[in-house]
Amino acid sequence: MVSYIIRRLLIAIPTILILIVASFFLIQYAPGGPFTSERPLPPAVLANLEARYGLDQPLWKQLWDYLTNIVLHFDFGPSFKFKDRDVNDIIAQGFPISLTYGSLAFIAATVVGVGLGVAAAIRHNSWIDYAAVSMGIGAQALPNFIMGPILILVFTLWLGWLPGGGWNGGQWQYLIMPVIALSTSYMGNIARLTRSSMLEVLNSNFIRTARAKGLPTRTVIWRHAMKPTLLPVVSYLGPVFVYVLTGSVFVDLYFSTGGLGAAYVGSALTRDYAVLLGVTILYGTLTVLVNLLTDLAYAWFDPKIRY
């Protein structure tokens, strides 16, 4: 197991390196640059700006400097757009925010989604099932960019219960709407997955055996059916965790949370190469780690899997 983890982490290094190099060149390929503006800068001014950010160097040199700065100083360079801040600054400020509401949304989606799915499967074809399925489908049909404005309209304008946006250091009033907006569609998916997976498991031979032994339903569900039911759900949860962090751009845009999602998309639109690359590396690394965790979780859920 330990040697497996070490092996996976070692493989992660070239993976991330390939990600950096590929992103580096792809970004250059996009039309326009960080200093393309409505009023084209006079050539002398453009030259000064490019010199300041090292863009006057050949591409291989830029890439080399970028990599050595990361390895030697853990420095991801200055932002081309936010001229008072560097990439480390931007990530240090935005990532904890994204991570906070992202994790909460992830937990909410998982707990409620699994709960709904299990309830629906156990009471198959009852009103609970129908209610859970409709809720699941409804939630799935409400992506966060639709939920956002609706929530603000209802809770801020009509009811006046919650502030319409902001973060305020993560105070609970400011967390509710972002977490709901971000979690609903995943919640629906998880509920649907859990329900069908559990229905399948409940019809399998070992469950029939367990029931035949006379075990109480609760034990059958929790001890025997739960783990195999969650196996497909877990493989879905890995990417979902990364999605709730990267897909948080709408949350940042609608709720002014100041997270990394808006900064990420903004950097792509303004060709802020350094920020775009920095956040890509962060999310890439995160994806690699989450995939590893998912694989390890498999072993726990399915005794047949051994590393």
Interface with another protein by CB under 8 A: which residues?
30-33, 35-42, 44-45, 48-49, 51-53, 78, 81-86, 90, 93-94, 148-149, 152-153, 156-157, 160, 163-167, 252-254, 256-259, 262-263, 266, 269-271
Name the minimum Å distance from CB 99 to another protein: 15
Q: Which is nearer to another protein, 21 or 153 (CB)?
A: 153
Q: Which is nearer to another protein, 194 or 246 (CB)?
A: 246
Name the minimum Å distance from CB 302 to another protein: 42
And the tokens for 99? 């991570």
Q: Which is nearer to another protein, 52 or 61 (CB)?
A: 52
Q: Which is nearer to another protein, 138 or 166 (CB)?
A: 166
Name the minimum Å distance from CB 243 to another protein: 20
Q: Which is nearer to another protein, 168 or 209 (CB)?
A: 168
Name the minimum Å distance from CB 218 to another protein: 46
Name the minimum Å distance from CB 155 to another protein: 10
Q: Which is nearer to another protein, 136 or 165 (CB)?
A: 165
Of 58, 175, 191, which Cα lies nearest the Cα of 129?
Answer: 191
Name the minimum Å distance from CB 269 to another protein: 7
